[in-house]
Structure 1
């Protein structure tokens, strides 16, 4: 079987490729990227493929039996949805038997300014177009909140628009789960959600980070208007501001307050706790 990973030079995609190499000696691995020259793993075929160049995808996906589509980090409203739909169409046209889409917890039909909309349209398109499909939704990256906290430690405050609960998941666990899904059977039509083993409140995550870093950190809620104003004052582009605000709103809606056993089901190992991820972080 020939398995492709689209977005393979990114952090998640690169980790998926490495886990595929560990788990699938009998399969051929194809790493697809805008920068295939960055992929230098023995036993891996590197191919050029750019979501923004649809003509490149037909050749990139040619001959694949299974394909993992990892969304880009493009923050322009509607762009990721458009890219993923284009990639799905290219994969179907190339005859890929089974398409796996990385998506997000809380995906639903919402206004286009909400980041969840970037995942809803491709999910629906995948279900309509693909012969066989699977979806792996992810909770929020533990690494992302830790990076945010590292910037916040100087001020001693981690902010959110409400007290909320989030089941932070490590990128590495998601990669292992995606690899497990790609090399095993019985996932056609399945929607999984990769989460950490527990949901943490804002106060709990601030306390955990403070303990791991040895620095004071408190959790503070502030009005969404204040958050938007602060992000504007920081000079961030409007697309990034919209994404950050919508993520905070989705936190408040409880979209990431979900705990499943899907990481262990797909990867064969339990999801790492937030504390264990922090223990390997340099502050």
Structure 2
């Protein structure tokens, strides 16, 4: 890639599923130098054999970020996975402040589709406020508003097939599902090539409803899997009855509520424009993962 911007390119959360893929893509593209930052650097130690420098850094330990970001010119801030509202904003604030102190020129951030304080998704406002912090940092930036991972359908899909019905509290709402792999491609491309200040919607090529998801599951299973739309509270109680802690049940159902209210009904061409390749469709992803969907349930 001849238009790769000058590094070092720093990837946070490098031991996570998304961060790891981003680092691998950077290596494959010949980007250099690359710095992989993790709370547990031993988990990314093997990357050193590929020419990647590894460093310890924890968003919840601001003192660790000075050394983690030192010398970095382009930084990928991967959102933390704290589900409790407010917690991730504190962590992100630490990361943005450290980036500013380190003199980072360009920040890439993995945000959420339609981040807003009135969204049913409790931590949506954390993304909204983080975007504001990045915009005020003085650095150039690329905000990647990732829609829901298509990969999440591999969690409930097998159960839907086993039960013979696909339950959700999403009403007729649609989601621009995007695979984790496509989000990694977007993050790597932005880190290597983006300039200026921009906010992009990283989505699949089409938004789909839960009825359409159920139709694809039916195709995979070779039998009819109807979509059963439930009231949100009924789904929460069903999840609790199946052993899920109430806090987690309400977090999961909040995504359905956001879908029902149209917050995630976003699908566009930004991913294709950024990377030169469109995202994988929900149908293609689920058919490619047929084995996982049909695996026996314990």
* 1:170 is the counterpart of 2:179: yes
Question: What pairs with 1:14-33 in structure 2 (closer than 5 Å)?
Answer: 14-25=20-31, 27-33=32-38
Residue-by-residue CA offset, 1:186-207 (whole Å, 9 max, x unaligned): 3x22000111111111111111
The equivalent residue for 1:278 is 286
Residue 262 of structure 1 is aligned with which of 270, 273, 286?
Answer: 270
Task: Identify the residue that residue 149 of structure 2 maps to in structure 1.
Answer: 141
1:144–1:273 distance in 2 versus 1, CA, 3 Å: same
Partner of 2:237: 229
User: 1:165 touches 1:199 (CA, 8 Å); kept in 2?
Assistant: yes
CA–CA distance in structure 2, aligned partners of residues 90 and 14 of structure 1:
22
Residue among 6, 10, 15 paired with 1:4: 10
Alignment of 1:57-136 (within 5 A): 57-110=65-118, 114-136=122-144
TM-score normalised by length of structure 2: 0.89
What RMSD, in angstroms, separates the aligned Cα atoms of the two structures? 1.7
Runs of 5+ in structure 1 lacking a partner? none
CA displacement at 1:228 relative to structure 2:
2.1
Equivalent in 190, 211, 220 of residue 181 of structure 1: 190
1:114-134: per-residue Cα shift (whole Å, max 9, x none)?
231221111111111242222
Q: What is the Cα deviation at residue 113 of structure 1?
A: 6.5
1:120-156 residue CA offsets vs partner (Å, 9 max, x unmatched): 1111111112422220011110000232212332212
TM-score, normalised on structure 1? 0.93
Matched pairs, number: 281
